[in-house]
């Protein structure tokens, strides 16, 4: 599993989506979601109130927004969608300042707000509508468009706990959008709230990629710990449901590697011809983050090979147990063969059955059966040895 602090951490992004469930429940009981004073007062919601109810963000679907300006007293300042729209409309924004806006695509207003205020490349919106989850990073006009995959915040080591993050990076604006809470974005926002203020939009992207690599490192450690436990139990002879558990972890690693493996190569290709606004120092930092990411991917490949070897060993043990069971069944069948034959012969209702009038006939038959059984057992165990 991931480190305990990750599982127990309470984050704004997770609470943002959970708050929607609480607000919806309150609305079903006739309470206005935005007012705690009206929770105990029955009322009907107007269409305007319903449209303004939060759904994983504010009225524009903005989960979080930050204005970064290293020249200001507060280098990282939270910002809402209205203030972000006003800032983007400035003819000459402050030099060195840029925005990071993180949107919830499940909100119906998120894409509309981006089209109206963000002035992003058409490629970004086409990428959103395509719904393709393959990892890629490419240039579009004077910005970077990235599609990367990450694990859900409520990650439970299931192959289905993986979702997509869409990113647009420009010199003044970084937009990230997702449909479900993701661990890497949450880790990045936690770092920003703790005082980490990137100097440029490229550095913010580099921090996000490093956060993604750290999440993958946690997954690799969690899978490694589980494999160690299974291996210890296998050596101890306890094989309960280990094959199914190994199969699930292998499917998870295969899915992660298939989705994430193209990311370092795509970024390396991009850095061969970076945008004009990207400094050489930022490009070098991105190269460093991709190298760390490649190391994690190699570790995941090694884990897949280790799981495969364990599965083969478990399969060999199962085959050995099956062979042992078949041998026991064969021995029992051979040992029971003489008595079954004699019982069939002496059970015939015909005349001339030998020893029928002899007082010692029963013991003679028992001796014959015991002799043939001993010979059959000697022959079977001799073949086994």
Distance from C-alpha of 98 to C-alpha of 118, rounded to nearest angstrom:
12
Q: Are strands 173-178 and 62-68 parallel, antiparallel or unpaired?
A: unpaired
Q: Are strands 143-151 and 76-78 parallel, antiparallel or unpaired?
A: unpaired
Which pLDDT tens digit goes with each residue over 69-104? 888 888 889 999 999 999 988 877 778 889 999 999
Count of CB atoms situated within 10 Å of the CB of 50: 11
The pLDDT value recorded for residue 239 is 62
Which pLDDT tens digit goes with each residue over 219-235? 888 888 888 888 887 87
The residues spanned by each domain of the chain are 8-314, 322-384
The pLDDT value recorded for residue 37 is 38
Q: What percent of the chain has pLDDT over 90?
A: 9
Two tokens, residue 184: 């890497």
Q: Is the pLDDT of residue 129 over 50?
A: yes
Which pLDDT tens digit goes with each residue over 7-27? 333 344 444 444 444 343 333
Using H for helix, E for strand and C for coil, what is the string for 27-65? Answer: HHCCCCCCCHHHCCCCCCCCHHHHHHCCCCCCCCCEEEE
More confident residue, 239 or 322: 322
Query: Is there a contact between 242 and 215 (Cβ–Cβ < 8 Å)?
Result: no
Beta strands across the sheet bearing 98-104: 76-78, 62-68, 98-104, 173-178, 162-169, 143-151, 136-140
Which pLDDT tens digit goes with each residue over 167-204? 999 888 999 999 888 888 888 999 998 888 888 888 89
Distance from C-alpha of 362 to C-alpha of 385, rounded to nearest angstrom:
34
Q: Is the pLDDT of residue 60 over 50?
A: yes
Q: Is the pLDDT of residue 379 over 50?
A: yes
At the fourth CATH level, the homologous superfamily of domain 8-314 is CorA soluble domain-like (3.30.460.20)
């Amino acid at each position: 599993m991931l480190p305990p602090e990750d599982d127990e951490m309470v984050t704004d992004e997770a609470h943002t989506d959970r708050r929607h469930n609480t607000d919806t429940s309150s609305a079903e009981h006739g309470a206005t979601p935005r007012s705690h004073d009206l929770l105990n007062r029955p009322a009907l919601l107007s269409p305007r109130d319903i449209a303004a109810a939060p759904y994983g963000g504010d009225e524009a679907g903005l989960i979080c927004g930050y204005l970064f300006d290293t020249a200001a007293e507060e280098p990282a300042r939270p910002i809402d969608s209205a203030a972000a729209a006003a800032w983007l409309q400035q003819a000459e924004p402050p030099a060195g300042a840029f925005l990071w806006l993180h949107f919830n695509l499940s909100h119906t207003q998120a894409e509309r707000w981006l089209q109206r205020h963000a002035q992003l490349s058409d490629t970004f919106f086409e990428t959103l509508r395509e719904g393709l989850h393959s990892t890629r990073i490419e240039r579009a006009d004077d910005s970077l468009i990235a599609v990367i995959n990450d694990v859900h915040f409520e990650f439970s080591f299931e192959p289905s706990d993986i979702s997509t993050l869409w990113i647009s990076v420009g010199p003044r604006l970084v937009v990230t959008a997702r449909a479900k809470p993701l661990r890497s974005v949450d880790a990045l926002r936690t770092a920003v709230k703790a005082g980490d203020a990137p100097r440029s939009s490229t550095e913010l992207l580099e921090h996000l990629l490093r956060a993604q690599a750290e999440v993958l490192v946690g997954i690799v450690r969690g899978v490694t710990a589980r494999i160690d436990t299974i291996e210890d139990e296998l050596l101890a002879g306890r094989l309960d449901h280990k094959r199914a558990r190994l199969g699930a972890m292998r499917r998870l690693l295969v899915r992660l590697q298939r989705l994430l493996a193209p990311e370092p190569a795509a970024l390396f290709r991009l850095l061969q011809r970076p945008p004009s606004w990207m400094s050489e120092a930022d490009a070098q930092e991105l190269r460093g983050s991709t190298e760390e990411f490649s190391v994690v991917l190699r570790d995941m490949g090694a884990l897949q090979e280790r799981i495969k070897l364990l599965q083969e060993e478990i399969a060999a043990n199962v085959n050995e147990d099956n062979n042992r069971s078949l041998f026991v069944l064969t021995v029992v069948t051979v040992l029971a063969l003489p008595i079954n034959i004699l019982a069939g012969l002496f059970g015939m209702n015909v005349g001339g059955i030998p020893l029928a009038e002899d007082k010692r006939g029963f013991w003679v038959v028992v001796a014959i059966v015991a002799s043939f059984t001993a010979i059959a057992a000697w022959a079977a165990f001799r073949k086994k040895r």
